[in-house]
Amino acid sequence: MYSILKGTSYFLAHAPEMVIHNGTTQTTQRKIDPDSSYLKEIGGNIRDYEACVAYPPNQVYIGNMTPEELAALPMPWYD
């Protein structure tokens, strides 16, 4: 029996709820101290959809910007 690869794709997903509920640090912290300030503040530190779309490395990934254009931008890119 031989396997056949018929297609592939890449995608970017904006899934802030996944980070809040399923990250390793969050899961561990929830077991150790469910009332920790870390868990209370995590939602306020997640970028909104528009900030994720505008993030230059994401623009390169989806083909709207070249790696050379990215290299010309001052770092850090998230400011």
Q: Is there a contact between 42 and 26 (Cβ–Cβ < 8 Å)?
A: yes
Q: Is there a contact between 65 and 73 (Cβ–Cβ < 8 Å)?
A: no
The stretch 17-46 carries a mean pLDDT of: 91
pLDDT of 39 reads: 92
Q: Do 55 and 32 fall into the same domain? A: no
Nearest to 70, CA basis, from 61, 15, 48, 7: 61
Q: Do 20 and 40 fall into the same domain? A: yes
Domain assignment present for 28: yes
pTM, 2 dp: 0.66
Domain assignment present for 6: no
Is 61 in a helix, a strand, or coil? Answer: helix
Domain carrying residue 26: 16-46
Domain assignment present for 11: no
The stretch 56-71 carries a mean pLDDT of: 95
Distance CA 71, CA 57 (A): 10
Q: What is the pLDDT confidence band of residue 45, given thresholds at 50, 70 and 90? A: confident
Q: Is there a contact between 36 and 29 (Cβ–Cβ < 8 Å)?
A: yes
Total number of domains constituting the chain: 2
